[in-house]
Amino acid sequence: MSWHSAAAISRAVARDSIAVTCAAATEDDWFEWAFSGGPPDPLYQATMIAEYREQARLLREVIGNPSRPVFFDPAWRAANDRTAVKIAERIDEQEDFDRLPILADALEDVGCDNADILDHCRGPGPHVRWVLGAGSRPRPDLIGYATWFSVLLECKL
């Protein structure tokens, strides 16, 4: 997603509102708006802001927040007869992300005290399934939630 998709979504949502708000706009007005954030229509602007926020949230779901790196302890895999891994595998196979709070409990049981991981698993989502291709390696300081989930499942990174 990008600025272009956010603008397209905003135009579609606010089409009728823009027609009223910008009825007297000249060609020069439209040209200026093209470089200054779009037409000065309140619904259009609110939709753009909402779309930017949603795109940022989805990006953080995939790659995490670079300002708050999440570190994964490989010992969590083996602990407790691989319980966390087994739960993660079931969630992954069935794409049943409603069971992520159960995974959070299992991770806590094996020593995970990372609030970012636990809060994410217990959060409302939506959650995405994202597996890195073979040969890809995430930067350790940019490990995202979906990436650590792949690490937990021992995907080839």
Low-confidence residues of the chain: pLDDT under 70? 1-3, 62-65, 126, 128-157
Q: What is the CA radius of gyration of the chain?
A: 21
Question: Dihedral angle at the C-alpha atoms of 100, 106, 110, 114, nearest 10 degrees?
Answer: 30
pLDDT at 41: 92
Residue 109, pLDDT score: 92
**Please, what is the end-to-end C-alpha distance for the chain in angstroms?**
25
Cβ distance 146 to 130 under 8 Å?
A: yes
Tell me the pLDDT tens digit for each residue of 43-82: 999 999 998 888 887 777 766 667 777 777 778 878 888 8
**Integer Cα distance of 146 and 137 in angstroms:** 13
For residue 130, the model assigns a pLDDT of 46
What rounded mean pLDDT belongs to the chain? 76
Q: What pTM was computed for the model?
A: 0.57
Amino acid 149: pLDDT: 56
> Domain extents for the chain?
3-63, 75-152
